[in-house]
Structure 1
């Protein structure tokens, strides 16, 4: 497998120029893509168009990184190997912990997959994206006259139009830093990676790990409440974008019943651990988190059966560490944004213990054949 040349750029605004320069120097990236109208209305797309045009002659792929991230020194090496493995794909190396794509990545991690296909009805996480240079040029041509200011939304429209969403790296080697947002996302509060992973583990997982193409239905949380993204809902009204199904309402389409969920909660909910979570965040949130993770564990076990055996060359324990990392973010990500600062180490430990018990129960939670086919995969 020939490793392609990957050019790179950090998109930035003058208010973050210092940290952007530090990022370029530390990660040995090619240079900066500056906002061409820094005094104009906030627009990530305006700067992204500059960044995607900063390809280096001879490069087969181009990596665009935003300025408010952290990443290991091995970033370019890991990205180049992934590009060699998937030469025609759009590759995403950071996924938000609280989004539907983040939930897809968390589900994939618990199932033992290292890549998952992004859902069509949500923005594309754009903090660290690698495109083939031809795709980068096509995106610039597509987006040049867009009135949208969010590059992540336009990327998804572009991919939907081409009939193929990006591949999300499940182990995240890129992390978001800070809570400020030039483009108006500060109200979302603390926004971190769904599955932060060391470069030592991520490199072999991304180079050889399994790919989950279609995870089926996906449990997720937003603002303290549980939801389910149904398979194929992008074909609904307005292609499903912005529509959220509460888990109770969506259960019939999964082949599960609320009665079975209540019975599982009664039998398996660890009251003492739930009480620890409830002391800070209330019992309704504790029970909602447990139910969400019960459904997550059930679907992960279902999907894992279709993935096949783990490939050779994955270090001992790497898959388990990836699973633990993804599970540890479930609780904080599920909180309303204004409550996330209250999740200190003790609270995160309690939420993780609660989530772990639910996923374990979900792994044996069956009420008959699912009404939705299992996820498809490829190696």
Structure 2
């Protein structure tokens, strides 16, 4: 294939014109894609269609970035290198920290992967997404008559029609800024990246890190409670149903008794007490068990799919630290996230690490080693 040629555009609204122009200039991005009906009902899709139509005729790929992000000056170079490696994929460079895809990104980070296949039934994060030019044109055709206003929902639906969810960059080099939302997401509170990593650490992971294609069951948190996404939920009548971990656990081969026994024997009492004091007993229990299950799945993924025993690559230690730094604050309800001070964030990260590090205790080594899985891509 010839060298990748990436065009780009910044989605924006007149109230953020200056912010978008500054972002475009700093990163060397293309022109601004302005909301064509700024006085109309909020619609990210309306502006997204303008942005995706801005692909240059010579481009092999098109990158769309939203105006309320921060990113390194090397963003275009990182995108170009990723596109050269995965020319036929939808590549996503930001993942929301409290979504299922955010948990998938953390799991992959803890397993040592550089990329992970997105959860197909959930919205596709579109704060910074790059598509092959032909697929961008296909998205415009697919979305042009949609009554949906959320471009991320329509993008996910489009990718389901082509049978391939996007690839999430595990090191999130793009960060969301602010809590305001033209499209009505302000009620979600602070919305940050699941695994924020600088460009220097991200580059080797994006260029050489292995791809976690198979997620199996996925632990995730929302509003202070733990849930499990079962394996293959796209076959269910309601694939987006949120299933509490206790209800979903039997299908994993684990029992609640096993999980609670590990928590009883290995959860650090001092840290548990402090998390309970700050954020409540229920949250302290749910977070530790969520991280225990997350650690179990990350250990399983590394053993089954990583090209080396721990999947280690340059930048991996900082990627793991980034994943652990966000799991606690993201697991809180939106109204409580602003309460997390730096000292609290350190406490929550250490508390999460104490659980993730015990996840291997829930693994049956013989079974885990015997189960076949798809060969990793790298």
* Deviation digits for residues 216-241 of structure 1 (CA, Å, limit 9, x no counterpart): 11100000000011111111114x12
CA–CA distance in structure 2, aligned partners of residues 220 and 104 of structure 1: 8
User: Is residue 170–residue 195 contact of structure 1 (8 Å, CA) maintained in 2?
Assistant: yes
Partner of 1:180: 180
CA–CA distance in structure 1, aligned partners of residues 146 and 308 of structure 2: 43
CA–CA distance in structure 2, aligned partners of residues 360 and 375 of structure 1: 23
TM-score, with length taken from structure 1: 0.96
Give 1:337's match in structure 2, choosing from 334, 339, 351: 334
Partner of 2:117: 117
CA–CA distance in structure 2, aligned partners of residues 374 and 270 of structure 1: 35
Partner of 1:255: 253
* Deviation digits for residues 117-138 of structure 1 (CA, Å, limit 9, x no counterpart): 0111100000000000100000
Whether 1:12 aligns to 2:23 is no
Q: Structure 1 stretches of 5 or more lacking a match?
A: none
CA–CA distance in structure 1, aligned partners of residues 87 and 203 of structure 2: 17
Report the CA distance shift for 1:213/1:87 in structure 2 as closer, same or farther (over 3 A): same
TM-fit CA distance, 1:374: 6.8
- DSSP 3-state at the match of 2:10: strand
Partner of 2:360: 363
Partner of 1:101: 101
Report the CA distance shift for 1:375/1:189 in structure 2 as closer, same or farther (over 3 A): farther
- DSSP 3-state at the match of 2:361: coil
Report the CA distance shift for 1:344/1:63 in structure 2 as closer, same or farther (over 3 A): same
Partner of 2:320: 323
User: How many pairs were matched up?
Assistant: 374
Q: What is the 5 A alignment of 1:7-156?
A: 7-156=7-156
- DSSP 3-state at the match of 2:149: coil
CA–CA distance in structure 2, aligned partners of residues 374 and 171 of structure 1: 27
TM-fit CA distance, 1:90: 0.3
User: Is residue 216–residue 375 contact of structure 1 (8 Å, CA) maintained in 2?
Assistant: no
Partner of 1:218: 218
Partner of 1:294: 292
- DSSP 3-state at the match of 1:206: helix
CA–CA distance in structure 1, aligned partners of residues 120 and 372 of structure 2: 18
TM-score, with length taken from structure 2: 0.96
* Deviation digits for residues 246-301 of structure 1 (CA, Å, limit 9, x no counterpart): 00011111111001011101100111001111221012111110000000001110
User: Is residue 87–residue 132 contact of structure 2 (8 Å, CA) maintained in 1?
Assistant: yes
User: Is residue 9–residue 63 contact of structure 1 (8 Å, CA) maintained in 2?
Assistant: yes
- DSSP 3-state at the match of 2:292: helix
Pairwise CA RMSD: 1.7
CA–CA distance in structure 1, aligned partners of residues 50 and 330 of structure 2: 32
CA–CA distance in structure 2, aligned partners of residues 308 and 360 of structure 1: 18
User: Is residue 300–residue 363 contact of structure 2 (8 Å, CA) maintained in 1?
Assistant: no
CA–CA distance in structure 2, aligned partners of residues 77 and 358 of structure 1: 37
Partner of 2:191: 191
TM-fit CA distance, 1:18: 0.7
CA–CA distance in structure 2, aligned partners of residues 208 and 53 of structure 1: 31
Report the CA distance shift for 1:315/1:229 in structure 2 as closer, same or farther (over 3 A): closer
TM-fit CA distance, 1:2: 5.6
Partner of 2:343: 346
TM-fit CA distance, 1:30: 1.1
Q: Structure 2 stretches of 5 or more lacking a match?
A: none
CA–CA distance in structure 2, aligned partners of residues 136 and 345 of structure 1: 41
Whether 1:278 aligns to 2:268 is no
User: Is residue 2–residue 84 contact of structure 1 (8 Å, CA) maintained in 2?
Assistant: no
Report the CA distance shift for 1:252/1:352 in structure 2 as closer, same or farther (over 3 A): same
TM-fit CA distance, 1:365: 2.4
CA–CA distance in structure 2, aligned partners of residues 117 and 170 of structure 1: 10
- DSSP 3-state at the match of 1:214: coil
